[in-house]
Structure formats: C-alpha cells, structure tokens
Amino acid sequence: MRRLIVGNWKMNGTSSDLDEIRAIAASAQQYPSVDSAVCLPATLIDRSTRAVDAFPIGGQDCHMQNSGAHTGCVSADMLLDAGATLTIVGHSERRAAQHETDEDIRAKATAAHAAGLKVIVCVGETLDEREAGSALDVVLGQLGRSLPDGAAGIWLSVAYEPVWAIGTGRVAETADVAEMHEAIRTALVNRFGEDGRVIRILYGGSMNGDNAAQLLAVENVDGGLIGGASLTAAKFEPILAAAEATSE
C-alpha cells in the first residue's frame, strides 16, 4: 500500500503563501513512492492548483448538499470546480466547534465521493474518553456511523486523530496507535470485506519530522494527516522522506 501524507493548513494561508505551496509541491516530487496532498482554505484552492504542477490540493470540509441556501458553506462540487481532488471531512475541530455529528460527516463523505473527490474521514477520542478507557468504543462508534455504506477502495482514507494530540505536541504512544489502527482495520474488513484492506488509515496528531518514522513504522499506519508541520516545505519534507523510507 502506498503511503499517503496529507497536510491540513486549517485556517491559515493567503496568496502570500503560494510560494510555500509551490515549495511543498516541489519537495513532494522528490518522493515518488509517496502519495501526498495539502488541504487548504477554500479561498486558496483555485490559485494553488494553478500555481503547482500535478500536486493534489484538497479542501478541509464540504457541505452535504450540492447547492442551496447554506450561507458561508462550500459544496463538494465547488471544491472540485476550484481544482481540488480530495477533501477532509469530520475533523475534530469541526466536530467540536461546528457541532458536526457522525451522521453529518457520513452525508458529507457521500456527497464528496459522489462529486468525484477522494475523502479523508477523521475520527478520534478526547482525553477524557481515553482516560475513561473508552477510546476504542468511541472511535469505532464514530467510524461505523461516519462511513457511508459501500465505502471502500482507494478513494477513502480514515484518519485516526486523538483530539488531545492535535496541535499539542503530545503524540499518542506507539502501542496505543497500533491497537487503535488494528481495531480500525478489523472494523473496516468486517464491514467491507477485502475492500476494507485498501482503505488507508492515517495517524494525525503532532506528527513531525522527528517522530514520523516511528509512527509510520507501526502496523496499519498507512500515512499521516499533518497540521502544524505541513505549513512549510522545510517541516513537511522530512515527513515525506520518512514515508518514502518506510514505503513497501
């Protein structure tokens, strides 16, 4: 399975960052065994896809409807029209701040796939949930409700992102990552059969150039979703290098 390394710029970036996006795209070309992409603010997608050559640019969310009275929202068709080839849905920051439910995320994933986008569905437990011993139950519950029926194949990835590890510098223990990714793989295979084996499972949460090799060496960690360390080519490239080095 090819590794997938995806940057999530969150609410960062303006046209003054186009050179940085070009630099990220250029460094990605040095790692041909790795699939990579950067998910940008919707306002930057069109200009970025024109600025780079054959480097995938994604959105960070989409609405479940194609069009209509949804002020401020962006549909999957609009992302595609702007040049995006993928989108994240269900990031924990949206689950928390925009009160998105698993059912919303499932509808968004369905809409994004129907539009022709690749989709990364995020799941992850809070610190309270981990400390209460319910991390597996929480994540597998989110997974079951957030993935559309018939979801299978290379167009879909799952990102396991423990909420307490996002943007905190605190990385999940290798053993906990291994346990969670194995549980997610088992759930995918139980639900989708052999097709569940080709769904890439990404780890997200303070991944950087120093810890990427260790995380990517864990069984069933097929790539990474990276926030802070994706904002510059200098920080992103070591992660791509680690992914290339651990590619099968």
Q: Which residues are catalytic?
A: 91, 161
The residue behind tokens 């090819």 is 2
Task: Give the span between the Cα atoms of 61 and 75, in whole angstroms.
Answer: 8
Among 17, 77, 104, 161, binds ligand PEP (CB under 6 A): 161
Site string for ligand PEP, 7-26 (x = CB under 6 A): -x-x----------------
Coil, helix or strand for 93? helix
Site string for ligand PEP, 32-51 (x = CB under 6 A): --------------------
**Length of the chain measured in residues:** 248
Residue (135 or 152) nearer to ligand PEP, CB: 135
| Residue ranges in 62-134 assigned as alpha helix (H) | 76-82, 92-97, 102-115, 127-131
Site string for ligand PEP, 69-108 (x = CB under 6 A): ----------------------------------------
Task: Give the span between the Cα atoms of 75 and 59, in whole angstroms.
Answer: 10
Coil, helix or strand for 178? helix
Region binding ligand PEP by CB under 6 A among candidate stretches 21-29, 37-45, 100-108, 159-167 = 159-167
Task: Give the span between the Cα atoms of 15 and 32, in whole angstroms.
Answer: 27
- If phi > 0 it is left, if psi is from -120 to 50 it is alpha, else beta; for residue 225 that is beta
Among 107, 121, 166, 233, binds ligand PEP (CB under 6 A): 166
Nearest to 110 by CA among 102, 225, 190: 102
Handedness of CA 158, 163, 169, 170 (dihedral sign): negative
Size of the site for ligand PEP (CB under 6 A): 14
What amino acid is encoded at 201 in this protein?
A: I
Partners of residue 121 on adjacent β-strands = 89, 158
Site string for ligand PEP, 198-227 (x = CB under 6 A): ------xxxx-----------------xxx
Residue nearest ligand PEP by beta-carbon distance: 227
Residue (196 or 224) nearer to ligand PEP, CB: 224
- Give the nearest distance from C-beta 69 to ligand PEP in angstroms: 30
Among 167, 186, 193, 210, binds ligand PEP (CB under 6 A): 167
Q: Is 59 in the site for ligand PEP (CB under 6 A)?
A: no
Could you list the residues that contact ligand PEP (CB under 6 A)?
8, 10, 161, 166-167, 204-207, 225-229
